[in-house]
Structure 1
């Protein structure tokens, strides 16, 4: 993987760059649609490519390990071939899912023993076998195995967890050196900065992660319930330390406003289930604010879903029709909303890139944040 930094905004830390892997170019800043189990929920691959058009999507190690299981993925020739996706894929190592299974897992130095949310069977993730699983999945960018701490989290726990994440990272790096690539292309490894919302821990972790010399770096343990201001403060601390010549990935973030504010702090890559999950609940993101399409006020509004016409669904259907689909629980409504939201998120990061390259990002960002912070 290579990363070319093309431009940095003169009034913020926002950057525009290009990541190149064996599966093509990724223009940053970028939003990565979440395809947890080998699919972006409710969207055909043809729609994903033609209408939403991301350079990269995300899969999840925990879920793919459980279903369809690594044996099936290896027989298929990796996740790209299994799901018929010829562009980039990043896999999260499963650390966040382990965090979310707090009542069904035990964390020890060796790794994490957890109970499957599907059938209650017991499994163990270690830094070593998570690297093996991600080799078999075959994503272009793979993540270190870490512990994602909850919020709030007391200082001593956050400190112990951070140091264990660093020790696990050493084991990930050592084991990866023993594992050959499987499918004729290379994989790039990103370690993860932790430290909860404690500035000194975030600084220690960022210093350590930077010293590893990986081709890219990630920031984890945010967007887990902390106020947005704390998220931005921790991101600012970390981006001041992580090397500028490497891409930076902020995991699991977030709202459109969160994304723009973190782009301004020097983040290049994002993922979040929010655009798809909220779409299925009738929430639409637009450049002028958020729409709850289930509200009665849209019952006889025959205007297009979004006059900006970012994706074809925006002018193909009216707000009244989309509200009707939700009111009768027709799955087509969720599909339309999902395509719209993902299209908007990709438009937002691509427009941010254009503004960075044009030298107008800060003014545009401040205007967009005010516009989007509305309920329509």
Structure 2
């Protein structure tokens, strides 16, 4: 019997808030998981990430298997000890990164052979090897190996990948075995085809997992298609298990997915945007590279209680970004992750209070109004 479990504390329509219990701590849902690709959330100290309110981060199997190597991480005490993050970690399977290497990989029924983007060396990833690597990393939530198809794609290709992913799901569960105190999630595929999404969800539920991820979205399709697939898929998933929308991270996409019953999210967007000079705020995105900030003494948003939004002028942030200074990327990354956790805390509170629709309307109104008027 695993220590992993989900408790739903309140609902508002299909939106829900609660807790996931793991051996390393409780995850408040809906949750946004900062991405720590290579054992680090870029530009952040682990203590900062935790202090912003993150209960869980994500690690990347593909990158960690290549460098420094899963066996090495295991020998050094596992990913939690290695990265000084003693709280829950979810690891992806490595499949998405491998599938993106279209010119460097060869897919077959057993798995995928690929060349490292680092040195060209050849590696093999199968459902069994992916779970072995995730076990060596000792993550708390592990993902099945699946095949993700970029959209748009022909139905025949989408169905082939979905069926392959289901066969790999069965093998992943067998490889996971009777692992105690850890969890395994299956991944729904099916592209933009409603019937394939339902078939995938129902088959995964029959196999039985601790949670269910919705994959293959935010891969080129417009938002209305993504939301339509959620409308189709989420009702087909078990009600008392967590639902994880993989790789989706625009704030508007997150709140709309929560509206449809999704519990977990991850995305590189807030950290990547910070490194490229973009701040996420209650006014929407602010491009700090823009020349209009060069003489602006105001902070990003003095009403917020995190340092980058409150204590640094837009003029200074603009200068740092234009100068290529590391501090600029660090401060905006900090701001963005703080905003995302602030958003998720607001989502949870609104669901608990039964006013989620009002919260979404107010939040979207702030984004639509845009930045504060010039001083």
> Mapping of 1:1-376 within 5 angstroms?
1-9=4-12, 12-50=13-51, 52-177=52-177, 186-373=181-368, 376=371
Q: How far apart in 1 are the matches of 2:37 and 2:319?
A: 29
Cα distance 1:253–1:373, how it changes in 2: closer, same or farther (>3 A)? farther
Runs of 4+ in 1 over 2 A off after TM superposition: 373-376
Aligned-pair CA distance for 1:350? 1.2
Q: How far apart in 2 are the matches of 1:366 and 1:275?
A: 22
**Alignment RMSD (CA, Å):** 1.2
> Secondary structure at 1:308's aligned position in 2?
coil
Show CA shifts across 1:63-94 (max 9, x none). 00001101211111110000111111000101
Show CA shifts across 1:301-333 (max 9, x none). 111122232422211211111001011111100
> Secondary structure at 1:151's aligned position in 2?
coil
Q: Which runs of 5+ in 1 are unaligned?
A: none
Show CA shifts across 1:238-283 (max 9, x none). 1111011111000000201110110101000000000000111111
Q: Which runs of 5+ in 2 are unaligned?
A: none
Aligned-pair CA distance for 1:366? 2.1
CA contact (8 A) 1:65 1:133 kept: yes
Q: How far apart in 2 are the matches of 1:220 and 1:375?
A: 31
Aligned-pair CA distance for 1:144? 0.3
> Secondary structure at 2:35's aligned position in 1?
coil
> Secondary structure at 1:16's aligned position in 2?
strand
CA contact (8 A) 1:290 1:374 kept: no
Q: How far apart in 2 are the matches of 1:46 and 1:153?
A: 42
CA contact (8 A) 2:302 2:311 kept: no
Q: How far apart in 2 are the matches of 1:362 and 1:235?
A: 18
Q: How far apart in 1 are the matches of 2:126 and 2:263?
A: 28
Aligned-pair CA distance for 1:369? 2.1
TM-score by length of 2: 0.96
Q: How far apart in 1 are the matches of 2:303 and 2:199?
A: 44
